[in-house]
Structure 1
Amino acid sequence: MATDDPRPLVGEPLSLDLLNTRWRLAEATEDLLTDVPGLAVWLRSNGLDGRCAATPDTLDAVLQARAALAAAVLDPITPSPSALSRVNAVLAKGRVVRSLTTEGPADEVVTDTPAWLPAWLAVDDYLRLLRLDPTRIRACANDACLLHFFDTSQNRRRRWCSMAVCGNRAKAARHYARVRR
C-alpha cells in the first residue's frame, strides 16, 4: 500500500477500492480522482502503476468505470438496465486472451487502448465479487459514509467500513441518546 494514499479505507477488492476513491470526512466529500496525480496514487496503491500509466485518458476511463460501479452497487443482485449498460460498456473495452505457454495456461487482458486497462480490471473484479457472493458487497451502514466493502466476516454481519470510525460513531451516538433520556 502506498503511504501517500489519504483514503480512510484501502485494501478492499479492486472494484470496491475504486468506488472508495470518493469518501466523506465530516461534511466534505473528498475525491482522490480529481487529477492525474491522484490517479497515480490509486494505481500505486493497487499495484497497477507498473502496468498502467497515469494519464488524462486513463483518468477518464477510470472515472467512467467508477460511475458504472456506483450504479451497479446500488443493487448488486438486480442491477438496473442503466447500470448493466454502463458496466457492459466498460467491459466492451477489453477481453481476456487465453493461451498455452511453456509455463502452462496463461491469461492476458487486452484492452482497446492501454488507458482502459485499470478501468476494465476494476469492472472485471466486480464480476468476480458477484460470482463469489453478491450479498457480501455492502455499503457502510453509516448513512453519512460513502465507502463500500466486501464482507468477509464469518457470520456475514459486518456493517461498517471501519469499526474504529463509523462503527464507533454509531455506538457513541446510541450511548449519547440513552444518556439524554
Structure 2
Amino acid sequence: MTSETANTPAPGHIADHLALDFLNTVAQVENQPHDFFQTDADVIRWLNDVGYASHAGEVKTRSGALLKAARELRAVILHAVEQKKNGGVWQTERLNHFLRSAISHPELTLNQQGQTEYHRVYASATPEQQLAPVAEQAADLLANGDFALVRNCEHPDCTLWFYDRTKAHRRRWCSMAVCGNRAKAARFRQMSQQ
C-alpha cells in the first residue's frame, strides 16, 4: 500500500443502505482492492460517522479485536448478499452470532432545541455488541430488501454496492460524480478515436 493509498478517504455513504455502505469499506483504489479498516480506530471512526459508536471509543478490548470482528461481519454480510442476489443459499448462523450479542433499549432525549427525540442505545462492551447495529441493518436488508434493487456499480473497475432508491430504479453507478463520469469520459474518448 502506498502512502497515497493509506491516506485515501473511505468511500462516502453512497449505497443508500448502511449494510451496503459497510461492504463498501473495501473498494478499488489505484486499481487494487483496499480495505479501509486497518485498525480498531478505523472501525470506530466509521461507526461514529453513521451514528452507532457513542461509547465505542471507551470500550477496553484487546487491540485488534474490533477490527477482526468488523472484517468477519463484513465477510458474512458480503457472502449473504452475494448469495441472495444470485439466488443462492446462505446460512444464517454466522450473522445470528452478531445479532445475538445485540443488547439495546429505547431512550428519549432532549435535543438542543428542547425537542424530544427517540432512539435506540446499544451496549458496547464487546466488539460484537459494537457491531450489532450493523448486523441488524444487514438482517433487515436480507429479510426485507428488494434484491432487484441491490446492485453493484456497473463500472468495470468498481466493486461498490448500492440500493437503488431512485424513482425509475435505473441507477447504474455507485456515484454519478465518480464512476458515471468515468464511463462518460471513456465513451467520449472511444468515440473521438473512431
Task: Tell me the TM-score normalised to structure 1 length.
Answer: 0.77
1:60 lines up with 2:68 in the alignment: yes
- Report what 1:179 is aligned to: 192
Q: Residues 22-62 of structure 1, C-alpha deviation per residue, up to 9 Å, x if partnerless?
A: 11122233222111221122122111221434753222221
Paired residue for 2:51, among 47, 50, 63? 47
- Report what 2:11 is aligned to: 8
Q: Provide the C-alpha distance between the structure 1 equivalents of 2:188 and 2:46, rounded to a whole number of angstroms.
A: 37
Kindly report the root-mean-square deviation, in angstroms, between the aligned alpha carbons of the 2 structures.
3.0
Q: Provide the C-alpha distance between the structure 1 equivalents of 2:188 and 2:34, rounded to a whole number of angstroms.
A: 29
Whether the 8 Å CA contact 2:14–2:162 is kept in 1: the answer is no
Q: Provide the C-alpha distance between the structure 2 equivalents of 1:154 and 1:136, rounded to a whole number of angstroms.
A: 11
Q: Provide the C-alpha distance between the structure 2 equivalents of 1:158 and 1:11, rounded to a whole number of angstroms.
A: 12
| Cα distance, 1:80 vs structure 2 | 3.1
Relative to 1, partners in 2 of residues 1:137 and 1:80: Cα closer, same or farther, differing over 3 Å?
Answer: same
Paired residue for 2:83, among 75, 84, 94? 75
Whether the 8 Å CA contact 1:137–1:150 is kept in 2: the answer is yes
Q: Residues 87-116 of structure 1, C-alpha deviation per residue, up to 9 Å, x if partnerless?
A: 344334446779xxxxxxx977668x5321
Task: Tell me the TM-score normalised to structure 2 length.
Answer: 0.72
Q: How many residues align?
A: 172
1:119 lines up with 2:127 in the alignment: no
1:1-181 map, 5 Å: 6-10=9-13, 12=15, 13-53=17-57, 55=61, 56-77=64-85, 78-81=87-90, 84-94=92-102, 114-130=126-142, 131-181=144-194
Whether the 8 Å CA contact 2:52–2:133 is kept in 1: the answer is no
Whether the 8 Å CA contact 1:136–1:152 is kept in 2: the answer is yes
* Structure 1 alignment gaps of length 5 or more: 99-105
Relative to 1, partners in 2 of residues 1:48 and 1:109: Cα closer, same or farther, differing over 3 Å?
Answer: closer
Greater than 6 Å deviation, 4+ residue runs:
95-98
Task: Report sequence identity in percent.
Answer: 29
Q: Provide the C-alpha distance between the structure 2 equivalents of 1:80 and 1:153, rounded to a whole number of angstroms.
A: 28
